[in-house]
Amino acid sequence: MMLHIPEVLTNAEVAELRALIDAAPWVDGNETSGTQSALAKRNAQLPEGSPAAAQAGEAILDALERNPLFVAAALPQVVFPPLFNRYAGGEAFGLHVDNSIRQSRDGRTRIRSDLSATLFLTEPGDYDGGELVVEDTFGTHEVKLPAGDMILYPASSLHQVMPVSRGARVSSFFWIQSLVREDARRELLFQMDLAIQQLAGKVGAGAPELVSLTGAYHNLLRMWAET
């Protein structure tokens, strides 16, 4: 399942975060690459664990906790500390799959990467190219979102970032280990959650049918969750 999550950050929050990270020193993006990715990756990145990355990452984690759409779709168990990259001057990231296990440089966070996320921090009109292209069983999808919006997709998907021919594309990227490992089960629970919320607005939270459906949702989550 691919999901566009709008307005994870407000315009003011994006501006504040950009002021913080743009003033920090950047390094070669291959500092965090695996062997395969290093062959395809050309970009700049904030050093993992740098003060600016840590402060900006905390702001993003706080925003994610407040976002009900993200919580419902991802069912997050652990969110990897957000990282930050920048593409300019023809830089790109060729077709690749993210590593199945991610460990932070300080060793404090080690997760199974069930979901990948890209949070856009540059308005689409400020750069040419830079589309995130994701391939899945339903075809190829090009993604280029407003600043503050995020795309969430299975980490097992082949994907790439197209060359940036004008301006610079700045974004945050990270991975999520979900309480529910399988994407199909996670999508089913997400659809049920949305239906429950819609029905609650029509029939009231105390309707017997809604109580029964909510119970089925939680019993499925109880059956499939890994804690």
Instruction: Identify the CATH number of the domain in which residue 217 sits.
Output: 4.10.860
Into how many domains does the chain fold? Answer: 2
Residues 129 and 213 in one domain: no
Range of the domain at 209: 183-224
Residues 137 and 28 in one domain: yes
Residues 132 and 69 in one domain: yes
Task: Tokens 């339903």: give the residue.
Answer: 138
Answering whether pTM is above 0.85, one says yes
Backbone angles phi, psi at 112, to 5 degrees: -90, 125
Residues 7 and 104 in one domain: yes
Residues 8 and 29 in one domain: yes
Residues 124 and 201 in one domain: no
CATH at residue 120: 2.60.120.620
Helix (H) or strand (E) holding 167: strand 164-178
Is the separation of the CB atoms in 109 and 80 below 8 Å? yes
Rounded to whole angstroms, the Cα distance separating 101 from 175 reads 10
Residues 134 and 220 in one domain: no
* pLDDT per residue as tens digits for the range 160-210: 999 999 999 999 999 999 999 999 999 999 999 999 999 998 888 888 989
pLDDT at 37: 56
Residues 125 and 60 in one domain: yes
- For each of the chain's 227 residues, which pLDDT tens digit applies? 999 999 999 999 999 999 999 999 999 987 655 555 556 789 999 999 899 999 999 999 999 999 999 999 999 999 999 999 999 999 999 999 999 999 998 888 899 999 999 999 999 999 999 999 999 888 899 999 999 999 999 999 999 999 999 999 999 999 999 999 999 999 999 999 999 999 998 888 888 989 999 999 999 999 999 98
Helix (H) or strand (E) holding 83: strand 83-88
Residues 47 and 25 in one domain: yes
End-to-end Cα separation, the chain, in angstroms: 22
Last residue of a domain, one of 178, 198, 215: 178
C-alpha of 30 from chain center? 20
Residues 151 and 72 in one domain: yes
